[in-house]
Amino acid sequence: MTAKDLEDLEYFKSLLLEKRTEVLQSKVIEMSAVEQNANSGLLKYPTHLADLGSDTWGQDLSSYFNARTGKYLKHLDDALRRIENGSYSICVDCGGKIHRERLEVVPHTRYCISCKAKNRRKLSIKF
């Protein structure tokens, strides 16, 4: 591993940590919004959900958001672990190096661009 590689790893590590903090902060903001609703009596309790009909979309959206950010956080944590164990920026599918340009856009990716495209084609046939 060259000094340049180490420098890159440090760069992506800080990028991932930055994104992680962003996600956690957005979660904190969301939680306090829910709390405010609860305090003002606007929170909808599960026992009322059946009667509320279309009013429940806000709750669905919130759990959807939580599931998504949870998954994203896991991806970020995984990527940070790969930096620590030295497997970062290596495609888990073909073992090739993932281009820096791709990592700049999706720092938590585990696939090189050609494997990603290959997987996507496989998926679209399957479904």
Residues in touch with Zn ion (CB under 5 A): 91, 93-94, 96, 112, 115
Task: Write down the least CB distance from residue 101 to Zn ion, Å.
Answer: 15
Rounded CA gap, 52 and 17, in Å? 40
Q: Give the nearer residue to Zn ion in terms of CB position, either 91 or 103.
A: 91
Q: Give the nearer residue to Zn ion in terms of CB position, either 48 or 121.
A: 121
Task: Write down the least CB distance from residue 89 to Zn ion, Å.
Answer: 11
Q: Give the nearer residue to Zn ion in terms of CB position, either 22 or 104.
A: 104
Rounded CA gap, 37 and 32, in Å? 9
Residue among 75, 111, 117 nearest 93 (CA): 111
Type of residue found at 42: L
Type of residue found at 121: R
Rounded CA gap, 65 and 63, in Å? 5
Task: Write down the least CB distance from residue 33 to Zn ion, Å.
Answer: 40
Q: Give the nearer residue to Zn ion in terms of CB position, either 58 or 86.
A: 86
Rounded CA gap, 77 and 89, in Å? 14
Task: Write down the least CB distance from residue 117 to Zn ion, Å.
Answer: 10
